[in-house]
Amino acid sequence: MEKRIEVGMVLPGFSLVDQNGKEIRFEDDAGKKRLLSFHPLAWTNVCAKQMKMLDDAYERFVALNVRPLGFSIDHQHCKKAWAEHLQITRLPMLCDFWPHGAYARALGIFREANGFSERANILVSETGTVEFVKIYPIKELPDLEEIFQFLKP
């Protein structure tokens, strides 16, 4: 396992597809902060609430020059069906599917014993430096207000 991501580290880049099959690369959002919100698996209750909250708060993040992104190890077709089921319309949900969990592994947040990532929020600066990291218990819904509080000037 790689070293676990922490504040001050430079985030490694990524190139992954979202639920619609669109390639999303880290450098696509140069000049913006990014919130990488990892959830273990699609079609689970807490993960659904986490992604729905992000989609509902999408415009709040955009107003703060932050692009929220959901991440999990699920396949693109699974994520597409799930997004449609949840009526997620704005939030890109990236697929760290193959090689299985490679990006979560690069961040040190892949649970080898379970085959999925930790539940985590990682806020990255415009220049790619990690500003905020929080790993949550798997069954705990992340609190987005703590991210908004952190972003306050």
**Between β-strands 66-72 and 93-95, what pairing exists: parallel, antiparallel or unpaired?**
parallel
Q: Which residues contact 129 (CB under 8 A, 6 or more apart)?
A: 8, 9, 10, 11
| pLDDT of 140 strictly over 60 | yes
Element (H, E) at 119: strand 119-124
Name the residue ranges covered by the structural domains of the chain: 15-151
pLDDT tens figures, 35-83: 999 999 999 999 999 999 999 999 999 999 999 999 999 999 999 999 9
pTM of the model: 0.96
**Between β-strands 33-38 and 119-124, what pairing exists: parallel, antiparallel or unpaired?**
antiparallel
Query: What's the rounded Cα separation, in Å, for the pair 116 and 141?
Result: 17
Query: 15-151: which CATH topology?
Result: Glutaredoxin (3.40.30)
**Confidence class of residue 153 from pLDDT cuts 50, 70 and 90?**
confident
